[in-house]
Structure 1
Amino acid sequence: MNNYINMKYIKAVLLICSISLLASCRKDFTEIESVAVVFQLRFPDNFSEGSIPHDIGIQIRNNITGELKMVSSDQEGKIALDLIPGTYSFTASHTYTAEESDNLIGHAEESFVNASLTPIVITEATQIEVKLNGSRAGGLVIREFYYSGVPTSYFYDCFVEIYNNSNATIYMDSLYMGNTKSASSAAYGFINEVDSVYLAQVWMIPGSGQERSLAPGQSLIIAMDGINHKTDPNGNPNSPVNLGPGIADFETYWPYTNRDTDAPDVPNLIHAYASTTAGFDWLPGVGGTGLVLFKLNGFDDLPVSKEPGTSSTTQYKAVPTSAVIDALDVVSNSNITADKKRLPVTVDAGMTTVGASYSGKSVRRKIKNVINGQTIFQDTNNSSADFEINDTPSPRKWN
């Protein structure tokens, strides 16, 4: 019995010593204190003098922890926050009605303001001025973009659906569709270029001016390959889409390496610019890309540029943002930060994603309302707010 008591005593002493030793070795941790940060919003220069940018929706994300704060600016256009020192991304967006826009910029049609800053390094109390960018709603919108492909690495069933969101007929002749480099995890060299979009591939709808009309509430579908991908021998039974005659209006035929089959019953787009003609098909990227619609004269005379901060010799076509009708910035997953954006906030204030490659999913625009039987889609020039994931891509099926 005495031996048992002695053993208990020895164990207790050893435990107390161990605790004392750990306590003596413990490092003292200092709690990080937050600092006061004030963001001051400024309206674009073309807005009426004295305008106050209040009630602007703000998202501030900690790039390290992922914590997201969603707030609104006050009556003086300020946002006051206590933030832990670190690296942040800041986005802002707001929609104005036609009546509000008439008072602000003299145009009686829906308009938007937005801004994006990244990275913002916060080390101490500070005030940061943010200049908002302004834009107006366009009649044509990208209604759906299916780019992810399906298992077994099949991605030839990509399509873009363009929708007439206005109340007037629009002629599609000479409309351009272009895409940036594919999305990646690297910071984008053109991130600070807000006056141009830099495109790797550009296609154009053929026509002299009034050959291809699109009525209000109707859409036009551009396929990578204009076949029924579910049943065609060149397709894949896992594909969710039929893009054959009667569905696809155009396809992006790639003749350069003689590896793309030309669907005889679906007309070809004109390939207006190529940063490369290697490969075997148009591939915007199963991990996403920046996609734009635009119209202008003198496309061939636009400059080209290499991506800053990289060793790549690839030349990208610089298209002025003033010519952009609609834009959609798609990234590989929801963890991508704003410094990876491929499109400037002047044309798309946000980003969207299907979440993973080869998922068989698309992104589609949310329905805003239905007026006299015509579906009107949400269009705030912010894809984070305007788009949702569609588990089964659905060309021309929006009701």
Structure 2
Amino acid sequence: MKKICFILLGLSQLMLASCRKEFEVVDSVPVVFQLVFPESFKEGAVPEKVNIQLKNNVTGEVRQLVSDVEGKLALNLIPGTYSLAASRSYTAAESEELIGHAQESFVNASIAPLLVETSTRAVSVPLKVSQAGSLVIREYYYSGVPSVYFYDLFLEIYNNSNETVYLDSMYMGNTKAGSTSAHGFLSKTDSVYLAQVWMIPGSGKDHALAPGESFIISMNAINHRDDPKGNPNSPVNLGKGISNFETYWPYTNRDTDNPDVPNLFHAYASTTAGFDWLPGSNGGGIVIFEGKDFAKWPVAREPNATGNTQYKSVPVGVIIDGVDCVPNANVAADKKRLPISVDAGMTTTGAIYSGKSVRRKVKQVIGGQTIFQDTNNSSLDFEINNTPSPRKWN
């Protein structure tokens, strides 16, 4: 019997050996990231202490890192696909020293997708520069509420400066809605491509916005909680006294028009189908900009797209502020709708029909005026607001 046991043991060992899988060990590779300032910066300046976020697109692991005194970041990485975002702000004094402008400024960079292969040893990270603006998007509510109601969208614009700003002929527009496919315009970094554009009417000084004040643009300027045309699940009242303007859609005569709230002028439409302005509950890019040369700017089809939809091209140099919104935090950076010089990151409400908005974080309060954080990186500047709150930030 003992002999039989030995034979069985030997067979079992042989079976285990034959079933064992051989796994290939993947070694990490040393990679050096070199951050590079734009040519407009002082010669010899080094982008040290720049915040870097590196995400492994396969595992979802996110690492928060900082460049060294040489503007470098050295890491050992497993080959794969990553996303990189970098940003740093500079005070007015630092900006004057670096670029000759005594105004708070920011550098940002984004690389997505970033492919790390076994042969990868060095990656150049070119930084873009931008400056703080007087007007900022303070809050954007786009997610809608359960029962598929999304007509209570609003955008709040805030005067973050210490001077009065006139809003006459200021433009607002949105990109195509967020989706799961890569954005065909991603490589077009000199322009923003908009599906719909609206303009604030006025003769020049009809609409003044004092420091520390805001104005509201609504899809439908009604009390969505109580109005029969609204939805009791809605968290917002956008009626008279709250909304400054609304986006009335006259093409199908199905949109609600509040006669007590003035309408924006519809300046461009990639399509006039549908029955309302529908930028999308999945998010998308939204911008405010100066448009004195609006009629001269061309339209373009999205590269690699199958349709013939035309988008209005708006140079990044006229953009006052922008925010790139996506459906959830798992969306990769190749889905971005705005160039990194406009918004180096992305923000989200976490889910569609959540009844939540995204709002800008408070930076400080000076002389009773709230100053909001503005680094041109919505991943850093914005937070989820569980209850949308037009004109309520204290």
Both structures adopt the same fold (TM-score exceeding 0.5): yes
SS of the counterpart of 1:330? Answer: strand
SS, match of residue 345 in structure 2? coil
- Alignment partners' CA distance in 1, 2:116 and 2:49: 24
| Match status 1:133 vs 2:135 | no
Q: Distance in 2 between matches of 1:42 and 1:375?
A: 34
What secondary structure sits across from 2:97 in the alignment? helix
The verdict on how the C-alpha distance between 1:81 and 1:262 changes in structure 2, with shifts beyond 3 A counting, is: same
Deviation of the 1:392 alpha carbon: 0.3
Query: How big is each residue's C-alpha offset from its partner over 1:107-135, in whole Å with a ceiling of 9 and x where there is no partner?
Result: 11110000111112111241111111000
Question: Matched residue of 2:94: which SS?
Answer: helix
Gaps of 5+ in 2: none
Are the structure 2 counterparts of residues 287 and 17 from structure 1 closer, same or farther at C-alpha, using a change threshold of 3 Å?
same
Paired residues for 1:178-193 under 5 Å: 178-193=173-188
SS at match of 2:348: coil
What letter is aligned with 2:88? H
1:122-151 deviations in Å (ceiling 9; x for gaps): 112411111110000000000000000000
Cα distance in 2 between the residues matched to 1:392 and 1:13: 72
What is the match of residue 342 of structure 1?
337
Residue by residue over 1:45-99, the C-alpha shift from the partner in whole angstroms, topping out at 9 and shown as x without a partner, is 1111111110000111111111112111111111111000011111110000010
- Distance 1:13-1:161 versus aligned 2 partners, 3 A rule: farther
**Structure 2 counterparts to residues 278-293 of structure 1, below 5 A:** 278-293=273-288
When the two structures are superposed, what TM-score results if normalisation uses the length of structure 2? 0.97
Q: Which residue of structure 1 aligns with residue 88 of structure 2? A: 94
1:309-340 deviation digits (Å, cap 9, x = unpaired) = 11110000000000001010000110111100
CA distance in 1, matches of 2:63, 2:83: 11
Q: CA–CA distance in 2 between the matches of 1:98 and 1:277? A: 44
1:118 to 2:112 alignment: yes
> Please, which runs of 5 or more residues in structure 1 have no aligned partner?
1-5
Read off the aligned partner of 2:252 and give its amino acid letter. T
In structure 2, the CA distance between the partners of 1:259 and 1:79, relative to structure 1 (3 Å rule), is: same
Map 1:33-44 → 2, pairs under 5 A: 33-44=27-38
What is the correspondence of 1:306-325 to structure 2 with a 5 Å cutoff?
306-325=301-320
* Per-residue deviation, 1:13: 6.9
CA pair 11-334 structure 1, distance change in 2 beyond 3 A? farther
The offset of 1:30, in angstroms, is 2.1
Q: CA deviation at 1:11?
A: 8.9
The separation in 2 between residues aligned to 1:262 and 1:378, in whole angstroms, is: 34
Partner of 1:28: 22
- Asked whether 1:53 is paired with 2:47, we answer yes
Shift of 1:214: 0.2
Give the corresponding residue for 2:67: 73
Question: Cα deviation per residue 1:193-241 (whole Å; 9 max; x = unaligned)?
Answer: 1100000000011111111000000000000000000000000000000
Give the secondary structure class of the aligned counterpart of 2:347: coil
Instruction: Map 1:149-168; keep pairs closer than 5 Å.
Output: 149-168=144-163
Aligned to 1:302: 297
1:272 aligns with 2:290: no
Q: Which amino acid aligns with 1:53?
A: P
User: What is the rounded CA distance, in whole Å, between the counterparts of 2:6 and 2:50 in structure 1?
Assistant: 63
RMSD of aligned residue pairs (Cα, Å): 1.5
The partner residue of 2:79 within 68, 77, 85 is: 85
Pairs within 5 Å for 1:168-317: 168-317=163-312
Q: State the secondary structure of the residue aligned to 2:233.
A: coil
How far did residue 385 of structure 1 move?
A: 0.2
Count of matched residue pairs: 393
CA distance in 2, matches of 1:13, 1:152: 68
Query: Which shifted more, 20-29 or 166-175?
Result: 20-29
What per-residue deviation string (whole Å, max 9, x for no partner) do you get for residues 1-25 of structure 1? xxxxx8x998997576445402222
Give me the TM-score of the superposition, normalised by structure 1. 0.96
Deviations 1:331-378 (A, max 9, x none): 011011110000000110000001111000000000001001101000
> What's the offset of the Cα at 1:298?
1.7
Q: C-alpha distance in 1, partners of 2:312/2:251?
A: 20
Structure 1 pair 11/113, CA: closer, same or farther in 2 (3 Å)? same
3-state SS in 2 of match to 1:23: helix
Instruction: Report the CA distance shift for 1:287/1:10 in structure 2 as closer, same or farther (over 3 A).
Output: farther
Q: Secondary structure at the match of 1:143?
A: strand
Q: Aligned partners of 1:270 and 1:296: how far apart in 2?
A: 13
Percent identical among aligned pairs is: 65
1:11 and 1:51 map into 2 onto residues whose CA distance is: 76
